[in-house]
Amino acid sequence: MKKAIVYYSLTGNTDYVAKKISKKINADLIRLEVEKSYPDSGFKKYFWCGKSAVMKDTPKLKKYDFKDYDLIIFGTPVWASNFTPPLRTFINENKDRLKNKKFAVFICFSGGGADKAIEKLKKELEINEFVCELILIDPKDKADLKNDEKIDSFVKKINI
């Protein structure tokens, strides 16, 4: 089964988890990058990122390589109880290529809204459920053995 991890990471937490999962399941990494960067600290970060998520923006992405995969694992931080706009752009750009695929998701967050973000991502993908879901609180910034155990459990579900 060909697997890809499609993700956006602003502060490095999502990138950290994507790389850990990729090593364990031999998945291709597709890190989405926006043409115009978001602020990554202070009030501007929360204002612009939250506004962009709530308004369902679709920012222009830098070029990425997306092949044919059987399983796509989405990784995203939570912005204002939403998944990140770069994922929305990716999904819109690949609607036809995403049909009849299997999906999993992992979420990294600090505040709240992870469950709502997952539900909104399901709606965007027009699916009822993910193969598996993983929610982590600041996994890079607040390293914890429990996070590694959660990642291992997630990986086992993917490999079934």
Q: Where are the beta strands (DSSP E) in the chain?
A: 3-7, 28-31, 71-77, 102-109, 133-137
* Total-model pTM: 0.93
Can you read off the two tokens belonging to residue 147? Answer: 């996070």
Question: What's the pLDDT score for residue 47?
Answer: 64
In this predicted model, what pLDDT tens digit does every residue of 85-143 receive, in sequence order?
A: 999 999 999 999 999 999 999 999 988 899 999 999 999 999 999 999 999 998 887 77
Nearest CA to 136 among 124, 120, 152?
152
Q: Per-residue b/e over 137-160, b at no fewer than 16 CB within 10 Å?
A: bbbbeeeeeebeebbeebbeebee
Question: What's the pLDDT score for residue 160?
Answer: 64
In this predicted model, what pLDDT tens digit does every residue of 54-89 receive, in sequence order?
A: 788 889 999 999 988 999 999 999 988 999 999 999
Q: What is the CATH number of the domain that holds 9?
A: 3.40.50.360
Can you name the residues that pair with 76 across neighbouring β-strands? 107
Contacts of 17 (CB under 8 A, 6+ apart): 75, 106, 108, 134, 136, 139, 140, 151
Give the domain range for residue 118: 3-158
**Is 103:125 a contact under the CB 8 Å cutoff?**
yes
Tally of domains in the chain: 1
